[in-house]
Amino acid sequence: MKKIIAIGSDHAGFGYKSAVIDHLQKNGYEVKDHGTFSEASCDYPDYAHAVANAVEKSDAWMGILICGSANGVAITANKHQGVRAAICWETEIAKLARQHNDANIICIPARFVGTELALNMVDLFLSTEFEGGRHLNRVQKIKL
């Protein structure tokens, strides 16, 4: 059974999104693309909400959001219950977001990382398990 990954971006992340989708599909993942579908200027919340909804409702195992700084998509996605969206700009941050925070959406700042680094972060994010233990109590305290 394939693990479904929800992905979305604004216009600044569109090129990266295409590269990530190709990479994931080559590695056996099923990808649900929530847009945008061009480099035309658009509003990042539209796509961040769509990806976060998919993760929140368990229609997707994990999510990937890409915009210029990753701040807007992360802020938007984290409004959803059960979503823990983490901005990642290097591989160690991507790994720790999973290990310590049980993050389920990686947010990538397209204007600040290269494509190869973005792909490496996605791979590490998707392959790293949550450690639980002392981190579980902390993650449980995130809920309102």
Cβ–Cβ under 8 Å, residues 142 and 84: yes
Cβ–Cβ under 8 Å, residues 98 and 129: yes
pTM here is 0.97
Domains of the chain: 4-140 (3.40.1400.10)
Per-residue pLDDT band for 66 (boundaries 50, 70, 90) equals very high
Which positions are catalytic?
A: 67, 100
Quote the percentage of the chain above a pLDDT of 70. 99
Q: How far apart are CA 44 and CA 47, in angstroms?
A: 6
Rounded to 10 degrees, the C-alpha dihedral 16/33/79/129 comes to -80
Average pLDDT over every residue of 104-131? 98
The single residue listed with the structure tokens 């450690």 is 131
